[in-house]
């Protein structure tokens, strides 16, 4: 086609080989059709503010701000959010035009961890911590209908601060059900007061003010792709990576001083314990049938 004079580069017919071009700069026309330039893959970190929709555009009849409206990248107009954060939830959300990576980051098969900084009302006690670690039975909905309940997978809890009125913790999970963090904590009697996502896999929220964004660095992109390439069970902190042993995560009592030892407990993996109670069982309990009941606190969840 080139030798037949059917290709032009920047308005000039080229008939001799080879022809060296830069597709991102040169205008190439073949048989009167312009070749589209290859789209540059972009990876953006946004510090999502409250009252912002995690979507490309809002539903008809509404006029809510979306995350894509906050990212005015000069090189791409077709970025889309990776997963979702609730309308009022703040913190890290990634936007990209890399569909393959976005699918791996959100698909439960790959189990890429998401970490949330959570503030709850009240003083989180041992019973609640153990119940969260075992897994909470949450109702599953499909097409607007409740279809039984399923236990949540294991979570990792790290206490940051605690007093009589509030508890601050980092909670890491590898699944993403609708309003999962809020529903889990409400189920054990500790309604969420503040919720912020602070990490997705190895990428942490840093260097970005609320409502602002920045491109990921090369190192961050490399680490993110590496994390998304591993299937659930292949991550370094997973049971299978350690020869099948359940992971040990330290629980630190904020009241203990630096001289006191750290008490360690096994995280109860709800995936392995799901057989204790059939899916779709009694949704009024978050334990299997062998577990003893725990005392619950009355509460009103306004979140």
Whether residue 293 lies inside any domain: the answer is no
Q: Residue 132 corresponds to which tokens in the numbers above?
A: 């969260």
Q: Are residues 66 and 201 in the same domain?
A: yes
Q: Are residues 113 and 10 in the same domain?
A: no
Lowest-confidence pick of 63-72, 79-88, 140-149, 203-212: 140-149
Q: Are residues 116 and 158 in the same domain?
A: yes
Length of the chain: 303
Whether residue 93 lies inside any domain: the answer is yes
Active-site residue 86, yes or no?
A: yes
Q: Residue 139 corresponds to which tokens in the numbers above?
A: 């109702």
Predicted structure pTM score:
0.65
Whether residue 284 lies inside any domain: the answer is no
Evaluate the CA torsion angle 138, 171, 264, 248 in order and state its sign.
Answer: positive
Q: Are residues 149 and 82 in the same domain?
A: yes
**For position 78, what pLDDT does the model report?**
85
Q: Are residues 30 and 53 in the same domain?
A: no
Q: Are residues 163 and 27 in the same domain?
A: no
Distance CA 137, CA 188 (A): 11
Q: Are residues 130 and 160 in the same domain?
A: yes
- Closest by alpha carbon to 215, among 98, 4, 45, 91? 45
Name, in order, each residue with C-beta under 8 angstroms of 62's C-beta and a sequence gap of 6 or more. none
Whether residue 283 lies inside any domain: the answer is no
Distance CA 114, CA 107 (A): 12
Count other Cβ atoms within 10 Å, centred on residue 147: 12
Strand partners, 33: 30
CATH number at residue 134: 3.30.2350.10
Mean pLDDT, residues 116-131: 91
How many independent structural domains does the chain possess? 2
- Contact status, residue 244 vs residue 233, Cβ threshold 8 Å: no
pLDDT tens for residues 161-213? 999 899 999 999 988 787 889 999 999 999 999 999 999 999 999 989 999 99
Q: Are residues 184 and 123 in the same domain?
A: yes
Name, in order, each residue with C-beta under 8 angstroms of 20's C-beta and a sequence gap of 6 or more. none
Count other Cβ atoms within 10 Å, centred on residue 240: 12
Print the domain residue range for 163.
43-251+263-276
End-to-end CA distance of the chain: 64
**For position 236, what pLDDT does the model report?**
52
**Higher pLDDT residue, 250 or 73?**
73
**For position 26, what pLDDT does the model report?**
85
Mean pLDDT, residues 247-269: 37
- Contact status, residue 138 vs residue 232, Cβ threshold 8 Å: no
Which residue out of 58, 86, 163, 253 is catalytically annotated? 86
**Higher pLDDT residue, 215 or 164?**
215
Whether residue 112 lies inside any domain: the answer is yes
- Give residue 96's pLDDT band: very low, low, confident or very high (50, 70, 90): very high
Q: Spell out where the chain has E strands.
A: 7-9, 12-13, 28-30, 33-34, 43-48, 80-81, 90-96, 114-121, 137-142, 145-151, 156-162, 166-173, 192-200, 203-204, 213-215, 248-251, 263-266
Whether residue 115 lies inside any domain: the answer is yes
Strand partners, 251: 263
Going from the C-alpha of 80 to that of each of 41, 73, 103, 211, 227, the distances in angstroms are 12, 12, 12, 16, 20
């Amino acid at each position: 086609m080139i030798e037949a004079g059917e290709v032009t580069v920047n308005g000039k017919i080229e008939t001799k080989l080879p022809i060296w071009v830069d597709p991102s700069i040169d205008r190439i026309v073949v048989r009167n059709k312009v070749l589209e330039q290859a789209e540059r893959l972009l990876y953006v970190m946004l510090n999502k503010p409250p009252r912002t929709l995690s979507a490309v555009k809002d539903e008809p009849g509404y006029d809510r701000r979306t995350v894509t409206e906050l990212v005015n990248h000069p090189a791409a107009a077709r970025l889309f959010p990776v997963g979702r954060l609730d309308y009022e939830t703040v913190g890290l959300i990634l936007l990209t035009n890399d569909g393959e990576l976005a699918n791996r980051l959100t698909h439960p098969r790959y189990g890429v961890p998401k970490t949330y900084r959570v503030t709850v009302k009240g003083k989180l006690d041992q019973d609640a911590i153990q119940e969260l670690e075992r897994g909470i039975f949450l109702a599953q909905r499909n097409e607007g209908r409740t279809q039984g309940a399923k236990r949540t997978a294991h979570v990792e809890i790290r206490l940051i601060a605690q007093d009589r009125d509030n508890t601050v913790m980092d909670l890491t999970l590898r699944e993403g059900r609708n309003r999962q963090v809020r529903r889990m904590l409400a189920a054990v009697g500790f309604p969420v007061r503040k919720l912020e996502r602070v990490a997705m896999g190895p990428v942490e929220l840093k260097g970005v003010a609320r409502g602002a964004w920045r491109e990921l660095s090369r190192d961050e992109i490399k680490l993110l792709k590496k994390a998304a390439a591993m299937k659930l069970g292949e991550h370094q902190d997973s049971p299978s990576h350690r020869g099948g042993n359940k992971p040990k995560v330290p629980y630190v009592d904020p009241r203990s001083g630096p001289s006191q030892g750290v008490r360690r407990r096994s995280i109860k993996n709800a995936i392995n314990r799901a057989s204790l109670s059939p899916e779709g069982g009694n949704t009024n309990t978050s334990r299997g049938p062998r577990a003893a009941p725990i005392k619950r606190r009355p509460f009103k969840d306004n979140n």
